[in-house]
Chains A and B, each alone.
Chain A
Amino acid sequence: MKPESVWIFDTERDKRPLLSVQDLVVEYAARQDTVRAVDRASLDVYAGDWMAVVGESGCGKSTLAYAIIRQVPHPGEIKEGTILFDGQNVLELDRRALREFRWKEIAIVFQAAQNALNPVMRIADQMIETVVDHESRPRKEILVHASELLRLVRLEPARVLRAYPHELSGGMKQRVIIAMSLLLNPRLLILDEPTTALDVVTQNYILDILADIRKKLRLTMLLLTHDMSIVAKVSDRVGVMYAGQIVETGRAEEIFYHPWHPYTRGLLKAAPSLIGELGEKRPIPGFPPDMRNPPPGCRFHPRCSYADDRCSLEEPSLEKVDGRQVACHYWQRIRAEVDHD
């Protein structure tokens, strides 16, 4: 039985991606060293897709998200690379164009965004303020739109608009934030760990709601998380991030059933879950890299069981194969092993 299709648009591989990040470098200047949070990362997000970028804490995915909307916090700086949104280079936009771009083309829901709500303002006022900051619309119209969006996230507009943030539960606040991010009709929604700090049942609920609004509003989604299980549940395409680089991309089934990169494989093996053979679970040896002094060559090589001398000298480039991408010198070897299993 074919599972319910989550494909609503045909994404032909030749079609230009809605968002294309190429060789992005973002550095943070600390007192004595520089940290390369994003180290030549490349990523393509196609219109209508739900793309997930999965990586552990410190891999640079949050920085990547900030960079896409050009809001990297100080002392961070985008040093190199291009970010193309619908063909336009985001990094070259002037201030006015940038204001049009942020929130109106791409919106972002930050981690623990529930805390971003102003505790002394009612929800209605905060929503109005969000819109009015970017364009002039009559108050009534904004409230009508807001009510629609609140209903879309399964909240009761009458009750929520009047409330203050502390009167709402964590899950409800998260939904309010999601609704707020949609007020200016963006085309791409970036979500940074939207469900951490939420219990499992609420998490499921939020993910269902997101799937719903994606369909109804024809949104493209970019979800950033460390949780492989969430990725498996909702995403069409997956990008795996390690030490500031995207090391593998592909469709969800390809990544989960036929991973080609050793880190992806290690991550799948190291994530405990309710299913699967316990005996096959294995932690990834070693420690995440120190981003002030990352390992030379392939960043993953100190922890990789397939690594040899070449890996410590030469950085592998992101190769395109059959609609997938992988950055590993020996990916064919891993492919052979995985196909064999």
Chain B
Amino acid sequence: MTEPLIELQNVSITFKSGSALRRRPGVQAVAHVSMELNEGNLVALVGESGCGKTTLGRLVAGLLRPTEGAVLYRGQNLSTLNREQFREYRRSVQMVHQDSFAALNPMRTIFQTISAPLQRHGLARGRREARRQVAELLEQMGLTPPDQFLDKYPHQLSGGQRQRVVLARAMTVQPRLIVADEPVSMVDVSLRLSLLDLMAQMNRQMRITFLYITHDLSTARYLAHAGRLAVMYLGSLVEYGPLGKVLEHPRHPYLQVLLSAVPVPDPKLARSRKPLPLRSPEMPDPTKPPSGCRFHPRCPYAEEICSQEVPHLRSMDDRFIACHLAERIPEWHLL
């Protein structure tokens, strides 16, 4: 049994604010998260804006260092890697951003952008060879005929096409893991599925691990239906398990509230559903998180212990959950 590709051990990230003269309390964007990503996994990380999912994604990609805890790449702590090893790690984890336009240099053609890493890592010698390889990659990503795209600039392509270019660029270094942060939210609805299908195909056929970060549970379900779902709230991981089971039978109150609020494209169903009520409509202040369980002020089932002790992620049945009252939370089903 090989070690996991990426392992997060109790990582926390705190952003400090204010200048050196006036230190203000920092924001703990990620709080004590532990997670494993193995080869070939497909994990959807969901949560609302401000929950820390993007920060966690950037941590996995190596763009951020944890304030506490450790990040392990194939069993080795990132902070102990030497230069050569760190570069190998860098190449193994790539990222796809939400805004495909900002992710591409507007002054460079598609060919120039994709051939740069090819030439850097000596994978293509000479311009003709580079063009051939780039064309091949574009074709693999569904951009055919590739000739039409090679000499275009990013602004001449549509959002979906740009994302495919971004994926092609990521593929030049043959990554083992791709962190995709809201890759389809800026793409037209009718085209989202084909982009998601592409990523699913990359996961299945090339065994590339995907960490799909989104606030949209519907796309998470579509992409990772055979994978796992990780739910974050205010920096903590609250529920984590096989996606199908977790969605059908959510245990954490926050996930129940979330699922009850997500609209569905079915009028009769939409109007008969009653969303689970929150105890308080106030959104918490990220710089002053609630004591104990961060969800307790809004949780419909909160008890005294919830405001006193922080619940840790523990295993229960087929999943992990961070809730003191997990066994007693009433069942709630989507349908």
Write the residues of chain A forming the contact surface with B, with a CB cutoff of 8 angstroms: 1, 3-4, 6, 56-58, 169, 171, 199-201, 203-205, 226-233, 252-253, 256-257, 266-268, 270-276, 278, 281-284, 287-288
CB distance from B154 to the nearest CB of A (A): 16
Contact-size category for B:
35 or more
**Quick check: is B81 within 8 A (CB to CB) of the other chain?**
no
For A254, give the chain B residue with the smallest CB separation. Answer: B267
- Whether B197 lies near A283 (C-beta < 8 A) is yes
Give chain A residues whose Cβ lies under 8 Å from the Cβ of B215: 199-200
Q: When the two chains form their complex, are residues A274 and B49 in contact, meaning their CB atoms are under 8 A apart?
A: no
**A3–B190 alpha-carbon span in the complex (Å):** 30
CA gap between A232 and B272 in the complex, in Å: 11
- Whole-angstrom distance between the alpha carbons of A227 and B216 in the complex? 12
CB distance from A301 to the nearest CB of B (A): 15
A58 surroundings in chain B (CB, below 8 A): 188
- A275–B188 CB distance below 8 A: no
Is A199 touching B193 in the complex (CB atoms < 8 A)?
A: no
> Are A199 and B265 in contact, with the CB atoms below 8 A?
no
**B35-79 interface mask toward A, CB cutoff 8 Å, 1 = contact, 0 = none?**
000000000000011000000000000000000000000000000
Majority secondary structure, B binding face: helix
- In order of increasing CB-CB distance, the 6 nearest A-B pairs are A229-B263, A283-B193, A284-B190, A272-B222, A199-B48, A233-B270
Which of A57, A169, A257, A271 is packed against the most chain B CB atoms within 10 Å? A271
Contact status B270-A229, CB under 8 Å: yes
Q: Compute how far the CA of A253 lies from the CA of B272 in the bound complex, rounded to whole angstroms.
A: 14
Q: Looking across the interface, which residue of chain B has its beta carbon closest to that of A205? A: B281
Of the listed residues A1, A56, A200, A278, the one surrounded by the most CB atoms of chain B closer than 10 A to its CB is: A200
> Residue on A with the closest CB to B335?
A275
User: How many Cβ-Cβ contacts under 8 Å join chain A to chain B?
Assistant: 125
Q: Does B326 contact A (CB under 8 A)?
A: no
Q: Shortest Cβ distance from B201 into chain A, in angstroms?
A: 13
Q: B269 at interface (Cβ–Cβ under 8 A)?
A: yes
Chain A residues whose C-beta falls within 8 Å of the C-beta of B272 in the assembled complex: 1, 3
Residues of B near A271 (CB, < 8 A) are: 189, 218, 265
A274 touching B48, Cβ below 8 Å: no
Q: Which of A6, A229, A281 contacts B222 (CB 8 A)?
A: A281
Q: In the complex, are the beta carbons of A274 and B192 less than 8 A apart?
A: no
Q: Report yes or no: A267 in contact with B190, Cβ–Cβ below 8 A.
A: yes
Residues of B within 8 A of A204 (CB): 261, 263, 275
Give every chain B residue within 8 A of A276 (Cβ-Cβ).
Answer: 266
Cβ contact within 8 Å between B271 and A200: no
The residues of A that contact B283 with a CB separation of less than 8 Å are 169, 171
**With known contacts A201-B257, A270-B190, A284-B190, A275–B266 Cβ distance under 8 A:** yes
Indicate with 1 or 0, residue by residue over B245-262, a CB within 8 angstroms of chain A CB atoms. Answer: 001000000000111011
Instruction: Choose among A3, A171, A232, A266 the residue that contacts B265 (Cβ–Cβ < 8 A).
Output: A232
> Is B278 located at the chain interface by the 8 A CB criterion?
yes
Which residues of chain A are within 8 angstroms of B191 by Cβ–Cβ distance? 270, 283-284, 287
Taken residue by residue from 164 to 200, chain B's Cβ proximity to chain A (1 for < 8 Å, 0 otherwise) reads as 0000000000000000000000001111111011000
CB distance from B274 to the nearest CB of A (A): 10
In whole angstroms, what is the CA distance A272 to B218 when docked?
5
Interface pair B189/A267, CB less than 8 Å apart: yes
Q: What is the CB-to-nearest-CB distance from A270 to chain B, in angstroms, rounded to a whole number? A: 5
Once the chains bind, are B48 and A200 in contact (CB under 8 Å)? yes
Q: Is B97 an interface residue (CB 8 A)?
A: no
| Chain B CB within 10 A, most for which of A56, A227, A272, A276 | A272
Residues in A whose Cβ lies below 8 Å from that of B32: none
Contact B197 A4 (CB under 8 A): no
Given contacts A199-B215, A204-B275, contact A266 B262 (CB under 8 A): no
Q: Which residues of B contact A253 (CB under 8 A)?
A: 267-268
Contact B257–A272 (Cβ < 8 Å): no
Please indicate which of the listed interface residues A171, A268, A274 has the most CB atoms of chain B within 10 Å of its own CB.
Answer: A274
Instruction: Please give the distance in Å from B200's CB to the nearest CB on chain A.
Output: 11
A200–B263 alpha-carbon span in the complex (Å): 8
B-chain residues with CB within 8 Å of residue A201 when the two chains form the complex: 48, 257-258, 261, 275, 278
Residues of B near A228 (CB, < 8 A) are 189, 265
Query: Chain A contacts of B49 at CB under 8 A?
Result: 199
- The residue of chain B having its C-beta at the shortest distance from the C-beta of A266 within the complex is B190
Task: Report B26 CB to chain A, min CB distance, Å.
Answer: 21
In the complex, chain B residues whose CB is within 8 Å of the CB of A268: 265
B21 beta carbon closer than 8 Å to chain A: no
User: Do B262 and A200 have beta carbons less than 8 Å apart?
Assistant: yes
The residue of chain A having its C-beta at the shortest distance from the C-beta of B185 within the complex is: A196
Please measure, in the bound complex, the distance between the C-alpha atom of A56 and the C-alpha atom of B188, giving whole angstroms: 6
- Asked if B189 and A232 make an inter-chain contact with CB atoms under 8 angstroms apart, the answer reads no
How far in angstroms is the closest Cβ of chain A from B284?
Answer: 11
User: Which of B221, B265, B334 makes the CB contact (< 8 A) with A256?
Assistant: B265
CB distance from A174 to the nearest CB of B (A): 13
Among A171, A233, A266, which residue has the most Cβ atoms of chain B within 10 A?
Answer: A233
Judge whether A275 and B193 touch: CB under 8 Å.
no
With a CB–CB cut-off of 8 A, which chain B residues contact A274?
A: 217-218, 221, 247, 259, 262, 264, 334
| Shortest Cβ distance from A58 into B: residue | B188
A229 to B217, CA, bound (A): 12
B263 contact from A4, A56, A232, Cβ within 8 A:
A232
- Decide: A4 and B271 in contact? CB cutoff 8 A: yes
Q: How far is the CB of B88 from chain A (nearest CB, A)?
A: 35
Interface residue B219 (Cβ < 8 Å from any Cβ of A): yes
For B264, list chain A residues within 8 Å (CB): 229, 232, 273-275
Inter-chain contact B222/A278, CB cutoff 8 Å: yes
Is residue B158 within 8 Å, beta carbon to beta carbon, of the partner chain?
Answer: yes
A232 to chain B, nearest CB (A): 5
Residues on A with C-beta less than 8 A from B263 are 200, 203-204, 227, 229-230, 232-233
Q: Which residues of B lie under 8 Å from residue A272 when comparing CB positions?
A: 192-193, 196, 218-219, 221-222
